[in-house]
Structure 1
Amino acid sequence: MKQFHILIILLLASWKLSAQGQFDIVIVGSNPGGIMAAIAAAREGKTSVILERTNHIGGLPANGLGATDIATRKATTGLFAEFTSRIKQYYVDHYGADSQQVKDCSDGFHFEPSVAAVIYQDMLNEHKDKITIHLMRQFDAEDSNLSLKDERIESLYVLNRENGQRELYLGKVFVDATYEGDLGAIAGVPFRVGRESKEEFGEPGAGRAYEYWKSQPAEGSTGESDNAVQAYNYRLCLTNNPKNRIAFPKPESYNRAEYVSLIEDVWTGRNTQIAMAKVTDEMMEANRKHIAQGNRTKLPGDSWGIRKLSSLVKLPNQKTDGNNQHAAFLSTDLPEENWAWPTSSWEWRDKFAKRLRDYTLGLFWFAQHDQALPEHFRKEIAEWGLAKDEYQDNNFFPRQVYVREGRRFEGVYFFTAKDALPVAQGKRPPLHATSVTASHYALDSHAARKRETGRVHLDGFISYPTAVYTVPLGVILPRKVDNLLLPVPVSGSHIGFSTLRMEPCWMALGQAAGITASLAIDNRVSVRDVNISMLQDKLIRQRTTLMYYRDLQPEDPNFHLVQYMGLRGYLPDWDANLTQAIDKETLKEWSALCNFQLDAIPEKTSRLEVLTIIYNKLRQ
């Protein structure tokens, strides 16, 4: 080790590099996963540095993703719940508890991008003595930027984008919190890009798939694997408030030909909803005449005006989170052109980011101005624009592309659809005893290809319901590198990743990563050898839900007991039912599980009393 530091000093002298010091944890990326890793580690007394490529922290929630993607809100808690509670309190403090803004923030799950940035910064500022943030620091996925020895990362280099100098960072544990997985790739962790075949894991929606939105597979769905990456877009902060509205500018690279297919879609009402299965050519022609008379569309499943281009979720202060319109053939997603993003250089990524920005602005400009579209359609869209109090240093446009999926690593545990699907109707998905968070979102992927003649949808657009599931620690652990954690580019198949990739889950995995790193440092072991019970105890004490129960919240005094016992198989149902008397069959099952005689009377002793007896003996 002494020779290594001498070598570093010599390199600094010869290359005129700037050594930035050593930290307990070096985190690449300031998206919510990276932020929560730093905060969790700071609360364990560890120092960290966050290296962020842009001039702003916060990732996607600070760049338009203001409508939180989570199906069961109480499933993911811990630092994520702290974030949402602070969001709500922000609106209470600024506008009053009974204000419209508080109502529109939906208990902190819906928020303006600028507010998300403020809350993340506030949470980080509480640990200024432990957390260092360096903006405009770019990590390039090149071998020369990483020092790896005996399966441990020793240091990494980043480019200071402000002065053009390379900077050196040394750490004990490293965290890849990039959406792309750049650090893990250069560390040699095996990864996948593209879609697995349906045959490989038997997952719904796997491989090539054309499906009516949230419905059954359609003609052309072969399930074959390929290198296709689901589409990216910008999550737009839109408003129809004239006092806070900026008109969509016409980009210099505007190309009308890219958008002309929208014309017939508007006039006929063609869309990708299941209702289209029963729509005839005659019905579409009748819709055309109906619209020509100055009416809105009457075709089933069709949207009108701004909602033909973008889905909208209401945010406070008369703003919306504008996402891709899932029922449209043409919207803000730009399939195919992003396939190279996960493994490309930042030079290529920046060019695509500009291309995507210009495409997006061009789409709305076309919809507002092209005279081939119905006049009353254009007028309705003209009521909308960019919010002028957001991204004021970036012409009111989001600063970051919504990278829905980059590299997916092959870690200690490989998460697939089966981990999120119930084992039987009404039951839970498979239980992971090494769970570090519960989570819940659909198996959800956006398009991988552009519009194709004769297809009912865009290839790759799928959604399948799941149940609240547990996420094992192994999804963030590489198999070989001893001091690297991967809380964002996690280990899983395309379909498995499609449910894990939501910001609440990434925040929870970031929290787990911060504590795992701290335990690894304290006990001088690899991240794979951290004591899982100790890690889970710390998470539970921080009110992190590891196994979701409908009748129990983190504030409950029995929360720790139920989490502990549930992960050990004692409470497999959705409700803990602590106050009920234990029945004879359950008493027999629990006695077999703990392997000692239980002093309890069936139909009289409460389940809580019996669990407490077992818990206390197991914890001795």
Structure 2
Amino acid sequence: MDQPMTIIEPSHRTPVYGEFDVVVVGGGPAGIMAAASAARTGRSVILLERYGFLGGAGTAGGLSTFCGLHAKVYGEHRRVIRGLADELLDRLERLDGLSQPHLTINDGIQAQAFDISSYKIAADELVGGSGARLLFHAMAVGVVMSDPDTIDAVLIESKSGRAAVRGRIFIDASGDGDVSAWAGVPFEKSPADNGMLYPSLMFRINGVDVAAAGDRPWRTVERLMDAAERAGTHTFPRKKPIVRPQRNPLEWRANLTQLSNPDGSAVDGTDVDQLTHGELQGRRQVLDAFAFIRDNTPGFGDSYIVDLAPQIGIRETRRVFGRYRLTEDDVLDCADFPDTIGVNGWPVEAHVAGTVDFRFQRGENPRGFNQLPFRMIVPERVGNLYVAGRCASLTHDAASAARVTGPCFVMGQAAGTAADLALDAGVGCGDIDVATLQLKLEKAGVYLGREEVTP
């Protein structure tokens, strides 16, 4: 096999952009909460984000829906994600950018739609108002290690050139586990025979005639697509489409694409060639799906595509190995952990080839949520690093549940709060006093799932 062509670059001195107590990489839901919670302890914090706005999949991925804020607790729908999430939702409400919760996944659990522009502003206010420094348009590209177990700096590239951001503690909220991988933390990706969750390209439709669309038109869209598939007139990349109204019912969000390589495998969000292929494929799928919806669904005849998400939505890539790996059984059996940092109520939502496989919590009338252990955000080997979000220590099937917004909020707030405790005690990230962390989280309003809940 031929060796790839290489170019030897000359060595150079990299300027230090700044030195901070806590460096957070990635401005998605985990990064937002990590930066805000760490800054509120009085620590110097910087949040590095490659786009010009926060929100991650919710904004850059066009998701426009909070999944995992709620759980179906013994048959009753309850919001179980609290703490800084309360403040974020309050800000969205004041901006008139938050819809009421709606039932989703066969009416089995609630989700909550939001206005993307409002979310960007609310996230700015939450993070900036907490005292954290924001650096947009800064792409993390590597790390510098002071020793094999300690990160000294994150390297970034921007329009201002290359720079280093030094820190005492780092929080990897990149989604893809970039910082962890560069630092040598062991990780895995799903193998080819049980591949990664398939990405999607989200889009939004405007100009819907609400009266003509009638009651529950999202069911009409699904029924029409199923009928066309059975008749052989159309082939869609994914069954179980999600087409739902936004804050203003004239506008609808559409989540019904599925992006794959020519061999049928899921597009890998860490491979630039596959990402490029996925963006091109996604736009073709959007055009085909929208044309069908417009031409066949009552109320959509004069509608148009108002927005294609800035990037395809990646559901899974690297998952680090931590002190504990959350499993599918933990999710489905509503597991408890002594080191709980919050809860997850979202079921397993596996985006497999051609469809979406939902697996809800087991039992006739389950509690509906599992606790999330502190150990899942503590990676192996590197002592001054937390990993929060979909790249935390999760199995493939557990990631199908705990990758969504709600549990990412939980992991982020816990990581930011824990960073202060580690710095205060002068210990490694995994060696803090967990009881103290739990008390601080509860004082901040986080629901740890420790109170007895009865049917």
TM-score by length of 1: 0.60
Using the TM superposition, give the Cα deviation of residue 381 of structure 1 relative to its aligned residue in structure 2, in angstroms.
Answer: 4.9
**Counterpart amino acid of residue 189 in structure 1:** V
Q: Secondary structure at the match of 1:30?
A: coil
Inter-partner Cα distance in structure 2 for 1:43 and 1:121? 15
Q: Secondary structure at the match of 2:18?
A: strand
Inter-partner Cα distance in structure 1 for 2:415 and 2:162? 27
Inter-partner Cα distance in structure 2 for 1:266 and 1:237? 18
Inter-partner Cα distance in structure 1 for 2:29 and 2:343? 17
Inter-partner Cα distance in structure 1 for 2:308 and 2:149? 42
Paired position in structure 2 for 1:87: 92
**Counterpart amino acid of residue 111 in structure 1:** F
Paired position in structure 2 for 1:292: none
Question: What are the residue-to-residue correspondences of 1:255-404 with 2, within 5 Å?
Answer: 268-270=227-229, 310-318=241-249, 319-324=251-256, 332-336=257-261, 339=266, 341-344=268-271, 347-348=272-273, 351-352=276-277, 354-364=279-289, 367=292, 377=296, 381-387=300-306, 396-404=307-315
**Counterpart amino acid of residue 355 in structure 1:** L
Inter-partner Cα distance in structure 2 for 1:438 and 1:104? 18
Matched, 1:479 2:380: yes
User: Structure 1 477/508 Cα, relative in aligned 2: closer, same or farther at 3 Å?
Assistant: same
Q: Secondary structure at the match of 2:30?
A: helix
Flag structure 2 segments of 5+ consecutive residues without an equivalent. 1-9, 72-77, 104-109, 210-223, 362-367
* Partners of 2:269 and 2:275 within 8 A in 1: no
What's the C-alpha RMSD, in Å, of the aligned pairs? 3.2
**Counterpart amino acid of residue 383 in structure 1:** D
Aligned length in residues = 407
Using the TM superposition, give the Cα deviation of residue 310 of structure 1 relative to its aligned residue in structure 2, in angstroms.
Answer: 4.1
- What per-residue deviation string (whole Å, max 9, x for no partner) do you get for residues 74-130 of structure 1? 222111232223222322xx9xxxxxx865899993211111111101112213xx3
Q: Secondary structure at the match of 2:121?
A: helix
Inter-partner Cα distance in structure 1 for 2:287 and 2:201? 13
**Counterpart amino acid of residue 312 in structure 1:** V
**Counterpart amino acid of residue 79 in structure 2:** K
Q: Secondary structure at the match of 2:205?
A: strand
**Counterpart amino acid of residue 441 in structure 2:** L
Paired position in structure 2 for 1:188: 184
Matched, 1:166 2:97: no
Higher deviation after alignment, 499-508 or 72-81: 72-81
Which structure would you say has the larger RCO, counting Cα contacts within 8 Å and 6 or more residues apart? 2
Paired position in structure 2 for 1:48: 45
**Counterpart amino acid of residue 506 in structure 1:** C
TM-score by length of 2: 0.81
User: Structure 1 355/47 Cα, relative in aligned 2: closer, same or farther at 3 Å?
Assistant: same
Using the TM superposition, give the Cα deviation of residue 430 of structure 1 relative to its aligned residue in structure 2, in angstroms.
Answer: 2.6
Flag structure 1 segments of 5+ consecutive residues without an equivalent. 1-12, 95-100, 196-224, 243-264, 272-283, 289-296, 298-302, 325-331, 370-375, 388-395, 423-428, 451-457, 548-562, 576-620
Matched, 1:538 2:440: yes
Inter-partner Cα distance in structure 1 for 2:302 and 2:146? 55
Matched, 1:411 2:322: yes
Inter-partner Cα distance in structure 2 for 1:511 and 1:135? 21
Q: Secondary structure at the match of 1:511?
A: helix
Matched, 1:77 2:98: no
Using the TM superposition, give the Cα deviation of residue 497 of structure 1 relative to its aligned residue in structure 2, in angstroms.
Answer: 1.1
Q: Secondary structure at the match of 2:398?
A: helix
Whichever structure has more strand as a proportion of its residues is 2
* Partners of 1:310 and 1:323 within 8 A in 2: yes
Paired position in structure 1 for 2:357: 462
Inter-partner Cα distance in structure 2 for 1:527 and 1:35? 19
User: Structure 1 349/515 Cα, relative in aligned 2: closer, same or farther at 3 Å?
Assistant: farther
Whichever structure has more helix as a proportion of its residues is 1
Paired position in structure 2 for 1:445: 350
Paired position in structure 2 for 1:612: none
Using the TM superposition, give the Cα deviation of residue 43 of structure 1 relative to its aligned residue in structure 2, in angstroms.
Answer: 0.9
Using the TM superposition, give the Cα deviation of residue 406 of structure 1 relative to its aligned residue in structure 2, in angstroms.
Answer: 1.4
* Partners of 2:58 and 2:116 within 8 A in 1: yes
Paired position in structure 2 for 1:124: 127
Inter-partner Cα distance in structure 1 for 2:113 and 2:297? 28
Which has the greater radius of gyration?
1
Inter-partner Cα distance in structure 1 for 2:153 and 2:32? 20
